[in-house]
Amino acid sequence: MEKYYIGVDIGSISTKGIVIDGENNIIASKYLWTEGSPIEATKKVISSLSRELDEKKIRKNIYGIGTTGSARNLIGTVLNANVVKNEITAHAIGTMSRYKDVSTILEIGGQDSKLIIIRNGVVVDYAMNTLCAAGTGAFLSSQAKRLGVEISDLGNIAIKSKNPSKIAARCTVFAESDLVHKAQIGHTKEDLIAGICNSVAHNYLNNLAKGKKLEDKIVFQGGVSKNIGVVKAFENILQKKIYVDENSHLMGALGVAILSKNVNKNGGKLEFDFNIENIEFKTIGSECKGCSNNCEIVSVYKDNILIDKMGGRCEKGNAMQNIG
């Protein structure tokens, strides 16, 4: 009997879900916008995976569920996951399953970006940027809107440029101001968009890669990796080939699905019901008064029964009897 494993990557902008088999082949996948509601997005992802498995006439023999991303703890509770892992580990595992000789992972998502350094199959260093938006997908999206261009068209327009505009790469405020100025003095749309792509690459490298050695093989992933203009910008700056997998946007979900498989290698089938769309999960935020940290606690309820609490730095806030 074939065994299958689910991986869900819940980010602030997008939610990704996949089902893999015992050989790490992706059997089903779904990518959609989180839209500020990770639980609702997860319900839609799981529902879509269920339909795809049904269409392929695949039996739903689930032996592992893993979650990663910014809402991994919350969704791990909702799905009763057997593995909850941080994004660095998940992305590294997912990428190494496709590129065993990877040494550098560049990852740019909607709201943040990551750099992962791997040597001999082991993560030896990493960096994350969650503060500066100028090196993320959100910046590209806002500039595309400003120029009246679909975000999906940015890359193809950028590679037509013969003379990319030099756009300030320090932060969104300077970049946007510079973009408006360049447009006013007659720079073409192709040159402006190529300049924006270069700006994202420069900002990423200046913020995350400063002082770090980016060795081959370099793999680029996250939603922004689908933008050929940014890929070419990295290649021109680094003078190295950049590899982009066809499933580059699913690497976190893939990695945590693999981890769930590894954890449950000799375990039994999970009692997982794909029909979670009509199950009501409610989250309530509160502030723990147990000490001076005043941690923000998230309480998760299913059918008005408290099933988990998270967010505290100690057990005072996360204790199940401490409902407040």
pLDDT per residue as tens digits for the range 130-143: 666 566 788 888 88
Which amino acid type is present at position 52?
E
Tokens 């199959």, residue located: 121
Residue numbers of the domain that contains 111: 100-244
Comparing CA positions, the residue from 217, 225, 218 lying closest to residue 246 is 225
Structure tokens at 298: 């998230």
Residue 37 per-residue DSSP state: -
The CA distance from 79 to 273, in Å, is: 9
Instruction: List C-alpha distances in Å: 294 to 14, 43, 86, 103, 297.
Output: 30, 31, 24, 41, 9
pLDDT tens digits, the chain, 324 residues: what are they?
799 999 999 987 889 999 999 999 999 999 998 888 899 999 999 999 999 999 999 999 999 999 999 889 889 988 999 999 999 999 999 999 999 999 999 999 877 889 999 999 999 999 988 666 566 788 888 888 888 999 889 999 999 999 999 987 666 777 788 888 998 999 999 999 999 999 899 989 988 888 899 999 999 998 899 999 999 999 999 999 999 999 999 999 999 999 999 998 878 899 898 998 888 888 888 888 888 888 888 888 887 888 777 677 677 766 655 443
Q: Is residue 18 part of a domain?
A: yes
Tokens 């261009």, residue located: 149
Per-residue pLDDT at 132: 65
DSSP letters of 51-94? HHHHHTT----EEEEEEESTTHHHHHHHHT-SEE--HHHHHHHH
Q: Is residue 276 part of a domain?
A: no
Per-residue pLDDT at 324: 39
Residues 191 and 123 in one domain: yes
Q: Is residue 324 part of a domain?
A: no
The CA distance from 1 to 286, in Å, is: 45
Per-residue pLDDT at 180: 87
Structure tokens at 106: 């560049």
Residues 130 and 107 in one domain: yes
Per-residue pLDDT at 322: 40
Tokens 């779904």, residue located: 30
Phi, psi of 5 (to 5 degrees): -140, 140
Q: Is residue 235 part of a domain?
A: yes
Residues 115 and 22 in one domain: no
DSSP letters of 157-213? HHTT-SS------S-HHHHHHHHHHHHHTT--HHHHHHHHHHHHHHHHHHHHSTT--
Phi, psi of 130 (to 5 degrees): -115, 5
In CATH, what number is assigned to the domain containing residue 196? Answer: 3.30.420.40
Residues 38 and 162 in one domain: no
Residues 105 and 230 in one domain: yes
Which residues touch 148 (CB under 8 Å, ≥6 apart)? Answer: none
Q: Is residue 141 part of a domain?
A: yes
Residues 55 and 149 in one domain: no
Q: Is residue 271 part of a domain?
A: no
Residues 173 and 196 in one domain: yes
Per-residue pLDDT at 109: 83
pLDDT digits (tens, 9 = 90+) for 270-322: 989 899 888 888 888 888 888 888 888 888 888 788 877 767 767 776 665 54
The CA distance from 236 to 217, in Å, is: 16
Count how many domains the chain has: 3
Whether the pTM exceeds 0.75: the reply is yes
Q: Is residue 125 part of a domain?
A: yes
